[in-house]
Amino acid sequence: LLNPHFSKLESAKKKMPENSGDSFRIKKIEFDGKLRPILCQNEAGPCPLLAICNVLLLRGNLTLHMDFSEIKEVELLQQLATYLLEKSEGRSESDSGVNIEYQLHDVMEILPTLQKGLDVNVKFTHPQGFEFTEQLSLFDVATINLYHGWVVDEADGNLPKTLASLSYNQLVEKLVQYKTFLQDDSKPKANEAEKSEKFNGESRSEISRNEAAIELFLTETATQLTYRGLEMLHRDVPEGSLCVFFRNNHFSTMYRKDHSLYLLITDLGYVNQSSAVWEKLDVIDGDTEIVDSSFESRKVTGGDSGFGESVQDADHLLALQLQQGDNIAIDPTFTHSTYGDSLSDRYGTIEGDDASFARAIYEQEKEMARKSRQSETQQALNRQIQRTNSRSLCAVQ
């Protein structure tokens, strides 16, 4: 019998943009003592796909071969779909009564449109306050927490509790209603009796105050991050956890380490910058601190010229790759690598003895590339050891 999960995957694949030319550059960083690939983006914008996949890559749930320099969008979506389907196998309804099969069906429908963004409606009472939508079920299925920092500080008292409990969409809708009422009520009337004194149980004076309070709140928190929100994020995000942070219609991978919060830098301009890996989240506006994979602040140089990474940094990353071994899984859907395309891409459709011969040549090229890469990595490791020994000798002297 056909596996129902397989049929869901095939259905999702058919809806994915096969002809899309979009791709993501891959950057290698050190994370938790291991070499991990992360995805970079060309343009700033709403990209939950990147944030979710980077969480899974850093966790080790998704894998990319370390020879890859980029991956096509459709291939990334297919690998994500495969992972979510495999993860859901064997899971039954949770204690809360959530139907995993129903959620999975929704997620498979969402994946083909994921690169366009997600419809997210925040609530101002808590960093995990979001209006539930089918799209947000993706985070549940992937077991990734979603946070924001646009939280009302009730101690200020600027925004009444009745308004603070609303979602963003509801608050904006309320503001429009208030403005419409006040504008209509200010127009000349045939007599004073036609003027409305109340709207939905609120007096004209209450409406005027609430309108001003909403406009002030939205203006003062235009960065969509408040000090109260920042405080609650540091309180609620568990130490050592990877999650997704939503702000200004943008999704970022967030990590909690040593009681500090960091956002993964995915801008393409830093793809060759080993000194720019994380951005510290400790202020609501202004300059933030950029750190490397060791979470140490270093001067960022080189920009997007491609020459920002030092020889020592490159050697260290290659040494990590050697220590981890060359056994990182290769997903069969991928076709990009430094040693060439897939067999079908390179030779077309081949059958019979010609196919066997082409396969042998292809495997031979891959093996030569692997040995070359291993040799380069060993040389890098040797240089790393020599530098370590030199520093130790200097320290003794």
The pLDDT tens digits of the residues spanning 53-70 come to: 999 999 999 999 888 899
The Cα 213–Cα 216 span in angstroms is 5
Residue 18 is predicted with a pLDDT of 57
Confidence grade of residue 106 (pLDDT, cut at 50, 70, 90): confident
- pLDDT tens string 336-377: 333 334 444 444 444 555 556 655 665 666 566 656 656 655
Residue 288 is predicted with a pLDDT of 85
Give φ, ψ of 300 to 5 degrees: -95, 120
- Counting residues of the chain whose pLDDT is more than 90, the rounded percentage is 42
Q: With beta carbons less than 8 A apart as the criterion, state whether 25 and 273 touch.
A: no
More confident residue, 162 or 1: 162
Q: Which amino acid is at 80?
A: L
Q: Is 339 exposed, middle or buried (0-12, 13-18, 19+ CB in 10 A)?
A: middle
Whether the per-residue pLDDT at 269 is higher than 60: the answer is: yes
Q: With beta carbons less than 8 A apart as the criterion, state whether 289 and 297 touch.
A: yes
Residues marked active site are found at 47, 250
Q: With beta carbons less than 8 A apart as the criterion, state whether 51 and 118 touch.
A: no
Computed over every residue of the chain, the mean pLDDT equals: 77
Q: In the structure encoding, which two tokens stand for residue 16, read together?
A: 């994915």
The Cα 310–Cα 193 span in angstroms is 78
Most confident listed range (92-101, 233-242, 270-279): 233-242
pTM confidence score: 0.73
Most confident listed range (183-192, 299-308, 380-389): 183-192
